[in-house]
Structure 1
Amino acid sequence: MKTKIVILGAGESGVGSAILAQKKGYAVFVSDLGKIKEKYKNVLSQKKIDFEESRHSESKILEAETVVKSPGIPETAPLIQKLKSRQIPVISEIEFAGRFTNAKTICITGSNGKTTTTLLTYHILKNAGLNVGLAGNVGQSFAWQVAEKQHDIYVIELSSFQLDGMFDFRADVAVLLNITPDHLDRYGNSMQNYTDSKFRIIQNQRANDYFIFCADDEIIQKEIKKREIKPVAVPFGVSDPKSPGAGIANNKMIININQKQFSMSILDLSLQGKHNTYNSMAAGIASMVLEIRNDQLRESLSDFKGVEHRLEHFLKVHGIEFVNDSKATNVNSTWYALESIRQPIVWIAGGIDKGNDYSMLHALVKEKVKAIVCLGKDNSKLHAAFDGIAKNVVDAASMEEAVKAAYYLARNGDTVLLSPACASFDLFENYEDRGEQFKNEVRNL
């Protein structure tokens, strides 16, 4: 009898898991409560993988010996609770795929900067000629790549939801960028639960693995004191560099690791701003662990193009600059965005609020923001937070309305910033859809 595996969710990670499971001889059933995208449906049909959409057939799902769950399905969902009460293991795609590869893994997590650091690390390794795959929250599904095109190294962006479903998986190099309140609605509104989730990135690490972390992050510093850290600990921060570690001295970014030193002027980094210096340090350390040459590292750190929907300086219309930061789905990301812009700002914000505390933005809004355009089905929390702090707070029911309102409120020399601080699912498919719609409406002005 073939081992029965059920995949819940038929997006990129679910379909990748199904392909790998089929290849490894499992009896596979894919179930999605929503509609499955055409391109994924075609793949499942072509490969003759059994699937259903717009429902979960419990009787079939509860027959599984293992369940691979999409990161979007919360642990508290009744179906997941039922599976757990029957002791049926529920794991993530990353955990599943990790069982079938001996490739080296660089795993990157944090509340902010994950995607930028992951893509930058991938860019450095790829430019150095290594056989490297990009996976996790970005790129193609890890499981799909393990099934169809093995790489020697994977750079994997991991959300806390993916980490929650990882048990035996081990990162050769773990990167923890920062921990700030995010997704607390999924963690019983407990910051400690969320922090524990992030620290799962170092579970199973051995003495010759590496743990790269931000020494300037208070929560990380506090947690490290409470835990036994087995791997080589490599801190980075804006003070003088440790050894091993990275830091800033005389406007130079300096990395010390494995008896080697790398230095580069922070003015030559392609990613500017304090938060991006952290991202560059983390990617630089991870690359040096894999013995990338200094000249290759310097070149890649200076020519990286950045990430779409993350502080993307898009267009100028009549002297007004439009910046697309749709990827900012939490307050901390938006703090970085507001902090990095020098011109007066018209800020487009809103969406599905994840239990946000906007008070940390008050000082920046007072100083820099001349108007706020609230774009969401329910903007009451934004009004409660900013009425009286910003001069103008207006509502918009669509991206077209929001961009037009922002354009009228802005003047030559101002910046219109889309940095929602919220999830996008009330009016958009995802943050990419939100960012694309923003850019389209700007083009139409």
Structure 2
Amino acid sequence: MKFRLGEEYLDNLDNFDLVIRTPGIPYLNQKIQQARNQGAIITSQTKLFFDLCPAKIIGITGTKGKGTTASLIFRILMKKFIGISVNVYLAGNFGVDPFEFLDELKKDDEIVYEMSSFQLQDMGRSPHIAVVLNITDDHLDYHQDAREYIQAKYQIVAHQKPGDVAVINADYIKSFAFAGITQADIWWFSLQKEVETGAFLQNGKVKLAYNGAKEEICKVSDLRLRGRHNLENILASILVGRILGSRINQIARAVKTFDPLEHRLEPVLERKGIVGVNDSYATNPEATISALDAFPHPILICGGKSKGLKFSRLGKAIAKKAKRAILLGENQREIFEAIPYAHRRKAVLVDDLEQAVDKAVEIAKKGDTILFSPASASFDQFSNASERGQKFKELIIKYL
């Protein structure tokens, strides 16, 4: 095996017949496209898996909530197959590398696959069931613009056929548009209105509608996940479970006992009547706005490495919903200036996460929530969002 390393490692790719692209390299990279134009086959691990997989794939995409939704669907389907010789696998960014179990797969198995825009961009096949969550702008440090980002996401439904299923969030214009691209049957979910075929909220209850009938799954007060965005994730997961034959009582039991995932509105510690919450995987402004909605006037710790996104909506949300905002990272000044001028006194600028946690604990009083939800990437001070979240947990335990 020969290795090609260094800054020019992508030069002369047209010398190869087959190029396997990792998700970290954009499909529209100039050198990738030069190789394709010279006749090289450009593929990826995800494309290869879809070509080779004999089982049914449930693909999940969205700007926020993919990991939680994939994990909850996996939990629901696992309950369905207890005592049956059918396997369910969780794959993608959050689950296991799919090639670890490819050789074990049977036709009746089911694969729950979390799919990012990086993976979807050059797909020529779509999953049997495609789940489209909230779609807002993100990853503009990777994609050329917001249009290219959404077009990459479109691939999750673009190649579906009649008999496939698309589960789509009806509350976001950009998500709603996916319905015009797919040939699949569409099941909707909504927090804002009742839908004819799908899942929705009504009078504090989670309901399912299909074939002219309505069924109650559970009460919102029964759920452990917090935040409206997590209600969206739950509705989508319920639909996939029902489409694939899970019983209502199995679905209800799964959603009522499902806890937040690590680094996703994860309660870390409650001490002196103060709660510390780790939401390190909130890497864009919309995710942090959703986190602010989940708690009454939290002390927000926010900031990191910019992804080319705008902070105007987050600035207004901080003004309206946060008790205080402690800002760190290379984009702290950008976030500070997005807060309406009259509310900037809420904000404190610090050098690093340790100073931020120390300051938050100093400010906090009994009944407060210290919410770490960065709205930014982690790469200015950490190798990834998991390392960043782990550091927050260590610090909140130390200082609180």
In 2, distance between residues paired with 1:305 and 1:64?
Answer: 47
- Tell me the CA shift for residue 82 of structure 1: 3.6
- Does residue 194 (structure 1) correspond to residue 146 (structure 2)? The answer is no
Q: Give the corresponding residue for 2:366.
A: 412
SS in 2 for 1:347: strand
Tell me whether 1:166 sits opposite 2:120 in the alignment.
Answer: no
Alignment partner of 2:101: what SS? helix
Contact map agreement 2:303 2:328 (CA 8 A) in 1: yes
**Contact 2:169–2:189 (CA<8 Å) still a contact in 1?**
yes
Where does 1:70-149 land on structure 2 (aligned, <5 Å)? 70-129=22-81, 130-147=86-103
Q: Which runs of 5+ in 2 are unaligned?
A: none
Aligned to 1:403: 357
TM-superposed CA distance for 1:279, in Å, is 0.9
What's the C-alpha RMSD, in Å, of the aligned pairs? 2.4
The CA deviation string for residues 12-33 of structure 1, in whole angstroms up to 9 with x for no partner, is: xxxxxxxxxxxxxxxxx6xxxx
Change (3 A) 1:419 1:121: same
Aligned residue type for 1:372: A
Report the counterpart of residue 374 of structure 1 in structure 2.
327
CA distance in 1, matches of 2:354, 2:335: 20
1:426 aligns with 2:383: no
Mapped contact 1:369–1:390 kept (Cα < 8 A): no
Task: Confirm or deny: 8 A CA contact 2:228 2:293 kept in the other structure.
Answer: no
> Which of 246, 249, 257 is residue 292 of structure 1 equivalent to?
246
Please give the per-residue CA displacement for 1:359-401, whole angstroms capped at 9, x wherever unaligned: 1123321223233222213533123223732324333333222
2:196 touches 2:210 (CA, 8 Å); kept in 1?
yes
The answer on whether the counterparts of 1:387 and 1:393 sit within 8 Å (CA) in structure 2 is: no
| 1:332 to 2:286 alignment | yes
Quick one: which amino acid aligns to residue 109 of structure 2?
Answer: D
Question: C-alpha separation between the residues in 2 aligned to 1:108 and 1:118?
Answer: 7
Partner SS, residue 283 of structure 2: coil
- Could you say what secondary structure the match of 1:321 adopts? strand
The alpha-carbon distance between structure 1 residues 383 and 366, as it changes in their structure 2 partners (threshold 3 A), is closer
Q: Over residues 269-303 of structure 1, what are the superposed CA-to-partner deviations in whole Å (9 max), with x where a residue is unaligned?
A: 33243222211110011111110111111111111
CA distance in 2, matches of 1:222, 1:232: 14
- Once the two structures are TM-superposed, the CA of residue 348 in structure 1 deviates from its matched residue by 1.2
Match of 1:357 in 2: 310
Which of 372, 379, 384 is 2:337 aligned to? 384
- Structure 1 stretches of 5 or more lacking a match? 1-28, 30-49
One-letter code aligned to 1:165: D
Which digits, 9 at most, give the CA deviation of each residue in 1:169-188, with x for residues without a partner? 23110010111111133332
Separation in 1, partners of 2:280, 2:97: 22
Equivalent residue letter for 2:389: G
**Aligned residue for 1:218?**
173
Aligned to 2:205: 252
Contact 1:257-1:288 at 8 Å conserved across structures: no
Deviation sequence 1:105-143 (CA, Å, 0-9, x none): 110111111111111000111122251010111111122
Matched residue type, 1:144: E
Contact 2:307 2:376 in 1 (8 A): yes
Contact preservation (8 Å) 1:257, 1:289: no
What residue is the counterpart of 1:37 in the other structure?
none
- Do the aligned partners of residues 68 and 144 (structure 1) sit closer, same or farther apart at CA in structure 2, a change above 3 Å counting? farther
| Alpha-carbon distance between aligned partners in 1 of 2:42 and 2:349, rounded to the nearest angstrom | 42
Match of residue 182 from structure 1: 138
Deviation at 1:53, TM superposition (A): 6.3
- After superposition, the Cα gap between the structure-2 partners of 1:350 and 1:149, relative to the gap in structure 1 and judged at 3 Å, is same
Task: Find the aligned partners of 1:371 and 1:273 in 2 and give their Cα distance.
Answer: 19
The alignment partner of 2:187 has SS state of strand
> Does 2:183 align with 1:230?
yes
**TM-score under structure 1 length normalisation:** 0.81
CA distance in 2, matches of 1:196, 1:61: 25
Q: What SS does structure 1 have at the residue aligned with 2:196?
A: coil
Deviates more, 1:102-111 or 1:267-276: 267-276
Identity %: 32
Asked whether 1:348 is paired with 2:305, we answer no
How many correspondences in the alignment? 392
